Amino acid sequence: MTPGHVCHLQRSLYGLKQAPRAWFKRLHDFLLSTGFQASKTDASLFYYTAKESRVFLLVYVDDIIMMGNDVNLVNTLLQRLSSAFKIRDLGAPGFFLGIETVVVGDGLLLSQRRYMTDLIGRSGMVDCKPLATPAAVTKSETLSDTPFDNPTQYRHIVDALQYLTIIRPDLAYAVNRLCQFMHSPTVDHWNLVKRVLRYVKGTLDYGLQLTPSSSTSIHAYSDSDWAGCPIDRKSTSGYAVYLGDNLISWLSKKQRTVTRSSTEAEYKALADVSAEVTWVVSLLRELGLHSGQPATLWCDNLGATYMCANPVFHARTKHVEIDYHFVRDKVASGDFVVKYVSTIDQLVDIFTKPLPSPRFSTLRGKLNVVSLPSCA
């Protein structure tokens, strides 16, 4: 026995903190040596370009998706990859990270039916009655202060619901509200969780639809309620970013500071979506897929749209933090065009407040969350 000695690892071991970094560095170096380029916008993305042929490789730990417009090139790159790593080619992606890809017509439907079914089973809600919406319009989160007797269960279920929002934007607002009470949930909060699960039970066949689109233009919607939280009077921001007809990014999140006007709340929501659109545009430009047209941002607050174009920093906007005014710079440079949209046509209402069933169903469809056809 030599208690004063330490082991010097010759290779990374699965489960150690250093293992993920060592694995990714080896994969990264190999891909670069075979002609791939590492994306500067997304560290997990690599792309290969040869004349008109393009291949994209996306890495998540030890799961990899490779796709491209040249089958022969894809097969060649797979052979190179298999020469250095023990991999299995599973063909067209059918089930990846709990997400099932179902071919519907000429497009795809991303579904998490298996995951949702398992979640409902673990929650003991198999025999529950389904509901049409995940959040009640008249229900308040501050009715009771009685602590929930199993906060660990609350956290586990809400964590699982968070993963559903990857392809279910219709759950974003309700789950975001539940996440705000993880530290000390009450009985009423647990009842809200059960309501979301009842909605999930009724929408097991729903998923995010992706369809081929000839347009690569970017347009986004942003919205905010004003002082909607009864506890701290902070506002909730939401946005939805579309590439052509496909929804590619969305968010429902409470703002960090209390706003003094509805215009300020809406302007902060515009700042959030501007940052996201800037990242999307950078990624598309890097991949050579950007149309070159300015992105269009839609907002249902005239005051916020005027602030984006008004070069005068007048007294009514002095209280707005300076860093939010990068939206104005983007508009001035021609990268963004901010336009007004009526409240009726505002798609992001679903991310900022509970809605009645008819309105909720309409907006859910416009977010491309649809049911799997019975024949599929």
Q: Which CATH number covers residue 255? A: 3.30.420.10
CB atoms within 10 A of CB 221: 25
> Rounded to 10 degrees, what is the CA torsion of 254, 258, 261, 264?
-60
Q: Which residues touch 289 (CB under 8 Å, ≥6 apart)?
A: 216
Count of domains observed in the chain = 3
Contact present, 265 and 235 (Cβ < 8 Å): yes
Residue 47: inside a domain, yes or no?
yes
Residue 300: inside a domain, yes or no?
yes
Domain hosting residue 73, numbered range: 19-91
Q: Are residues 243 and 331 in the same domain?
A: yes
Residue 289: inside a domain, yes or no?
yes
Q: Are residues 174 and 256 in the same domain?
A: no
Q: Are residues 70 and 131 in the same domain?
A: no
- Residue indicated by tokens 């809406």: 266
Q: Are residues 191 and 311 in the same domain?
A: no
Q: Are residues 277 and 303 in the same domain?
A: yes
Residue-wise DSSP of 278-303: HHHHHHHHHTT---SSPEEEEES-HH
Closest by CA position to 327, among listed 259, 269, 254: 269
C-alpha distance from residue 345 to each of 244, 303, 337, 366 (Å): 17, 18, 18, 10
Chosen domain end from 58, 91, 124: 91
**Length reported for the chain:** 376
Strands 107-111 and 206-210: antiparallel
Q: Are residues 359 and 261 in the same domain?
A: yes
Q: Which residues touch 63 (CB under 8 Å, ≥6 apart)?
A: 96, 97
The pLDDT value recorded for residue 163 is: 94
The pLDDT value recorded for residue 319 is: 59
Q: Are residues 154 and 286 in the same domain?
A: no
Residue 353: inside a domain, yes or no?
yes
Q: Are residues 221 and 352 in the same domain?
A: yes
Residue 160: inside a domain, yes or no?
yes
Six-digit token string for 129: 């009655």
Chosen domain end from 155, 178, 206: 206
The pLDDT value recorded for residue 190 is: 93
Six-digit token string for 135: 């959040």
Secondary structure element (H or E) that encloses residue 199, with its range? helix 187-202
Six-digit token string for 273: 């979506």
Distance separating alpha carbons of residues 34 and 276, to the nearest angstrom: 31
- The CA-based diameter of the chain, rounded to the nearest angstrom, is 76
* Torsions phi, psi for 83 (to 5 deg): -75, -20
Q: Are residues 147 and 85 in the same domain?
A: no
Residue 151: inside a domain, yes or no?
yes
The series of mean pLDDT values per 10 residues for the chain, 376 residues long, is 76 72 89 93 92 91 88 91 87 85 90 94 92 84 76 95 95 94 92 95 94 88 87 90 95 88 88 94 90 92 83 60 77 91 92 94 95 70
Radius of gyration of the CA atoms of the chain, in A: 23
Distance separating alpha carbons of residues 221 and 231, to the nearest angstrom: 27
Residue 2: inside a domain, yes or no?
no
Chosen domain end from 61, 91, 121: 91
Strands 99-104 and 336-340: unpaired
Residue 104: inside a domain, yes or no?
no
Q: Are residues 353 and 226 in the same domain?
A: yes
Is residue 160 classed as helix, strand or coil in its secondary structure? helix
Distance separating alpha carbons of residues 237 and 269, to the nearest angstrom: 5
Six-digit token string for 198: 């009842």
Contact present, 48 and 73 (Cβ < 8 Å): yes
Question: How many CA atoms within 13 Å lie on the side-chain side of 75?
Answer: 3
Q: Are residues 116 and 252 in the same domain?
A: no
The pLDDT value recorded for residue 375 is: 47
* Torsions phi, psi for 37 (to 5 deg): -115, 140
Q: Are residues 220 and 346 in the same domain?
A: yes
Amino acid of residue 61:
V
